[in-house]
Structures are given as C-alpha cells and as structure tokens.
Amino acid sequence: MGSNWSGGIILGLLAGLIVILTIDPGGSYPRLAEGPGITIDESFNVQQGILLVEVFRQYGLFMFDPTNSQDIYGDPGKIPYLPDHPPLGRWVLGITHHLWWNLFPPNDPGSIDVTAAARVGSAVMFTLTVFLVGATAGTWFGPAAGWIAPLSLLLMPRLFAHAHLASLESSVNLFVALAVLCTAHSWSKCFRPDADVRPLQLSWKAGLIPGLYLGLAMLTKIQGFLIIPCIIGWALWYGRKQSILPLLSWGIVANLVFFLGWPWLWLDPLGNLSKFLGSATDRVHLNVWYLGQVFQDTEVPWHYPWVIFLVTVPVGLHLLGGIGLIQFLRERGSDARLSLVLICLLFPLLLFSTSTAVYDGSRLFLMAYPLWAIFIGWGGQLVWQCMRVRFSFQRAAIVTAVFLSLQAIGILSTHPNQLSYYNLLAGGTANARHLGFEATYWQDSLTRSFWEDCAEKIPAGATIHVMPVLHQFQLDDLKKQIPIIRKQQWNLKPWSTDETETNPEYLIVFSRYADIPAEFRDNSREAVVTIDVGGLGILKGTRIAALYLVNSR
C-alpha cells in the first residue's frame, strides 16, 4: 500500500508548496512569487470566513442565536452574514486566514482581511485533493496510476489556478471527490460481477462514512448536491435491493451533517433551506463571451461546458484519460468504481448543458476535473504496462517523463494567469481568443507586476478609472488588498464608454470581453502597460489587461 500511496503523498505536498510559494496577488507577501491578481468575489468569501470564526470565538454554538444577531445581520459597522453558500469552505478560509496571518504577518495590511492569507486555505484543500486522487488511483490500479493521476491535477492549469484563489471551488473539489471515491471504493466491493466470487453484503452501516463525506460536500456549495442522484442511481443499478438500507442510512447521515454543520438553518430549518435552494436560481444574470458573442448565462449554447472541458485540459492528459475511458467501455462497465466516477463526472456537464446558468469558463463544473484524473491515472497505468512489455524500465521511465513534462507547458506559459489557459485543440490562448473564447474572467490579470509597472507610469494621487466594474465593492477591495495602490494614494473610479462627460486620464481595463465594449476587444488600441498571456518563444500572447492613457486610440 505504501508504494501505491507514495505518489499522492509526495505530489500532494509538492502541490501545496508550489501554490503557497506563488500565491501573492498584489504585494501582501512580496517575498513570495506572484500569483493571480485579486479576483472579483474573493473578498466576500474571506470576509464571511473571518466573520464565522470571530462570531464563533465569541458565542460558540450560540453564534446564530437570534439574540446575537446584531453581530451577524447588518449592525452598522459590521459585516452582515450572507447565507448564499453553505459555510464549510468559508470556515476553511477564515481559519487558515488567521493561522497564516499569525505565523506570517502580511506586508502593510489595509484591513483586517487579507486575501493572500486566506488563499492558503485553498492551497491546503488542493494538497488534500492531490493526495486523495493519488492514493485512490494507486490503490485501484497500481503505482504508475498513483503517480500519474495526482500529477495530472498539478498539470491542469485551470485547477492549479483555482488552488490560488480564496474561493469555494477547491473545497468543493476535495469533498465531492472524497464522497464519490469513498462510496465507490467501499460499496463496489459488494457489487462484484464475477460468478465465482460471492459478493459481500451491504449493511446499513456501510452508509455511515460515505454519508458523512456527502454531508461535508453538501456543506461546501450547491454543487455538492449534484452527486446525490448519481450515487442513488448507481447503487440501485449495481446493488439492487441490498442498496436500499445503506442508501437510507447514507441519506440520513448526510442530511444530519448538513443541518448540524450550518447553524443558520437552526433558526428556521424549512424557511432558510428554501431560501438557500431558491438563491441558486434567483440571482443576478451574468454575461458570457462564447464563440465571439455575448450570451446571458441562461442562454449559453448547450455545448458550452463540453467544449470548455475539452479545451482547458492539456491534450496529453485528455489522451491518457481517453485510453482509460475506452478500456472501461470495452469492459462494459464491469468496474463499478469507475462507473460511479464517470457518472459523477458527466452529470454536471449534462446539467449545465440545459438552461441552467453557466458562466466563467470551467468554474461551475470544476468538480469534474479531479474525477477525470482517475481515468487519466488508469490510462497512464495501461500505457505504462504496455511500455514495460516492450522497453526496459529506464527507457519507459524516460518516455513517460518527457511526455508528462510536455503537459507542463501550459502551466509555465500562462503563469500566473492559468485561468486564461486553452490547450492545443483551441490553438493555445491567443488562438482561442480568435475563435471567440473568453481569455480572462475575474480581474485575476491585474497582477502584482502589473501594478508595479503602472506605478512607473502613473503619478501619486492620480485618479484611475477601471473597466469593467461588476459590483460596488470591487474597487474598494483593490485599495484594501494592493499595498502599492494605497502607497501611491490612487483614486480608483469605475468607467464605461457610456460616460460621455468623463474623459479618463488613466484607464485600466481587464479584458473580460463579455463586459467591455467592442472597441476594447482587440489589441489595436495603444497601451502603455499590458499583460499578455499564452505567448511562447516567438509566438505572441494575447492581451488580458492594459493601462491606457487619455485619447490613446
């Protein structure tokens, strides 16, 4: 077992170290390498995480007692509690924020919440996900899979980028993968199709631990609920009647964990649960740039999630995953473990192929990526076994190392803006933009080096207009989280081309095509500072952020 788990352990620790060393968004930790810039909604998650920690420290389990509501529900000068998402992911961010701040105080903090410190929580979740995937693939398929599967997570640029953000996606990825893989591993022992092997019998106790993990997945984000119908259908298909009792205990435990883990529900269980589920659809619509057009998020073409999934994972990893998938299909689904993994992988893509709102690239179905890594590991194991028959261990190892190293080009060529990555099927990031794909989403292109370059062009005390501005706290968050903005005493203001009376002297644009006018959707406008991504050697990258001077057309 040790050799099968070693890849997950080593690569998990390596993944966490690499992410933490490249986590600084704007100067809070100047000794670390820069990471993605401050994204638009990180502050909400960090502030909510800090709120949960501080209120718990003061009131303990009575933190949501109505008599203490002044500390939660909008008392002047205090942060209101936002029940838009369950609390587990935000608990992780709040706890790690405090721990990291105490161990490594940030440089010139502008407020009590420092996004860079909370980002460590996502790095920890990514570390555990890499370990989990590696240990599972190694146990199921062999040592080669135990190395290739976790390494594939490190080499998926979109997944790697999300591990740098103080958002909920890394927590969702971990706990969804944990719930799916644990259930597949433990229950499938009773679903053996071999005629000469008497299958084990499932008892109600078999649902307890998987139910705990499902409850934790439900406590991260509504995506955690998506695996529920998948597991029910899978268990009834393979286990028939013997699955009923474990499914009942599984569901009871999961719902208990969900309810007990979210004290806000205690105030009004049915009413607050209804509010939470309703918030998933009753929300502000976002614009989506896809195939050269702007769509509303509920009107995006059905193929959007499939295409995005196809073009945002390195081609070589897709090839290995395809080999694993083909082998699974050739065996006609006899491996019940892989059946559940595949079902839980495909269901989010199918769901977001309907009129369900989908936006921001792979964000909403990112949970499918760690599950795809299981197939990548299986495919890698098959290829390794084939090479070992024909070649020596040394030659097979060299070929494997070279092949996997080539998959790292995407990570390196887009750093620190891996959210802008597209693979060779799209022709890389630059060509993907010509095909009509969005190259940047959430302001992450405004990196530390971008602000440092701007400081050489913009005098202290200047007014800088920014576009697009997607919520009212966006610019205030930049001031709080970027030390150089406060040092230069810049005044940030929103701007759009509709403001005919405002002629900005300095204009910063991050190139989210869905929310900027057509005249800024190309590189023809002269800029004094730019951030380009996806270039390699003589190949020119694509512009994802720029500083423009007045009348620079």
Full DSSP string of 249-309: HHHHHHHHHHHHT-THHHHSHHHHHHHHHHHTTSS---EEEETTEEEETTSS-TTHHHHHH
**The pLDDT of residue 201:** 75
Distance of alpha carbon 131 from alpha carbon 137, whole angstroms: 10
Q: Is the peptide bond before 199 cis (omega within 30 degrees of 0)?
A: no
Domain residue ranges in the chain: 2-96+115-385, 439-549
Distance of alpha carbon 474 from alpha carbon 115, whole angstroms: 13
- Which whole-number Å values give the CA distances from 492 to 116, 457, 509, in the listed order? 21, 15, 12
**Residue 163 near residue 120, CB atoms below 8 Å:** no
Torsion of CA 487, 493, 494, 498, to 10 degrees: -140
The alpha-carbon radius of gyration of the chain (Å, integer) is: 24
Instruction: Report the SS3 class of residue 130.
Output: helix
- Which whole-number Å values give the CA distances from 348 to 267, 309, 325, 398, 528, in the listed order? 31, 11, 18, 37, 42
* Strand blocks (E) in 297-407: none
Q: Please report which helix (H) or strand (E) contains residue 542, including its range.
A: strand 542-549
Mean pLDDT per 10-residue interval, the chain, length 553 residues? 82 97 96 95 92 84 59 54 92 97 94 95 98 97 97 97 97 98 91 54 90 98 96 93 94 96 88 84 85 94 97 98 96 90 97 93 96 98 94 92 95 94 93 93 94 96 94 93 96 79 84 92 86 70 89 49
pTM of the model: 0.94
Task: Name the region of 291 (left: φ>0; alpha: ψ -120 to 50; beta: rest).
Answer: left
Q: Please report which helix (H) or strand (E) contains residue 344, including its range.
A: helix 336-351
Bridge partners for 463 per DSSP:
491
**Residue 440 near residue 511, CB atoms below 8 Å:** yes
The alpha carbon of 248 is separated from its chain's Cα centroid by a whole number of angstroms, namely 31
Q: Please report which helix (H) or strand (E) contains residue 507, including its range.
A: strand 506-510
367: nearest Cα among 97, 161, 199, 174: 174
**The pLDDT of residue 76:** 40
**The pLDDT of residue 296:** 94
What does residue 173 show for φ and ψ, rounded to 5 degrees? -60, -45
Q: What is the DSSP letter of 541?
A: -
**The pLDDT of residue 535:** 66
Type of residue at 466: V
Task: Name the region of 144 (left: φ>0; alpha: ψ -120 to 50; beta: rest).
Answer: alpha
- Which whole-number Å values give the CA distances from 375 to 230, 233, 308, 332, 503, in the listed order? 18, 21, 18, 15, 54
Distance of alpha carbon 265 from alpha carbon 253, whole angstroms: 16
Q: Which burial class, exposed, middle or buried, applies to 390 when counting CB atoms under 10 A from its CB (0-12, 13-18, 19+)?
A: exposed
**The pLDDT of residue 344:** 98
